[in-house]
A = this chain, B = another copy of it.
Amino acid sequence: MSEETAGVRARLVAAGVELVLHEGQSAVSLREIARRAGVSHGAPRRYFPTHVDLLSAIAREGFADLAARVDATMRDAGPAPRARLAALGRTYLDFAATHRGMFELMFRHDLLDSGRLRLRETSLPLFAVVADLVAQVRRPTDAPAPVLAGALWANLHGIAQLWAWGSLPLATGAADDDALLRAALDAHLGPLPS
């Protein structure tokens, strides 16, 4: 399906994805998206009642992309749950670093508050993967599996967030975020059995 033959709705979302990836979150205005898609500024309204609806559709593309990467990671990673979690964390942090604008858009509070992005369809599947793996490596003295998984996910998310704008590298003096990822995994799951 080429750019020209694709429907206007798909072209709008594609243009928005392109924009947020290359120009950042502030560039994703309704009119600019419409221009890039080659339609008038009123056209999006036919498919998306408001700007927020269009942004939500773009963010869903981001979640789909992330989910695909996680799936690929889970396919390629070895069988050991601990190693799979490490690979998953690496994928998550990589995605946040290389798709910063999209990552910000995906977790914008006003989109989530609006109810257009339902967690059940976006971040929850990702969490389920984490929770499943965590349950396999959880030690008896650890917190209940959902809580442990939530804490670990929050840690990954926080590293991605704080790392992205240079606070953590400045504070920790680390050269990359690998040290933080390892520290988080070791903390929540115990040191890697080598």
Binding site for B on A (CB under 8 A): 26, 100, 104, 107, 109-110, 112-113, 119, 123-124, 127, 131, 141-144, 146-159, 161-168, 170-174, 179-180, 182-184, 186-188, 191
Contacts and interface: CB of A to CB of B under 8 A. Distances in A.
A147 B180 contact: yes
Contact of A174 (B109, B141, B146, B182): B146
A156 B187 CA distance: 14
A26 B114 CA distance: 13
Copy count, this protein chain: 2
A165 B124 contact: no
Interface centre among A113, A124, A152, A172 (most CB of B within 10 A): A172
Contacts of A150: 162, 168, 171-172, 174, 180, 183
Contacts of A154: 155, 158-159, 161-163, 168, 180, 184
The list of the 10 closest CB pairs from A to B, nearest first, reads A158-B158, A154-B158, A150-B172, A143-B183, A151-B183, A157-B158, A155-B155, A146-B172, A187-B187, A154-B159
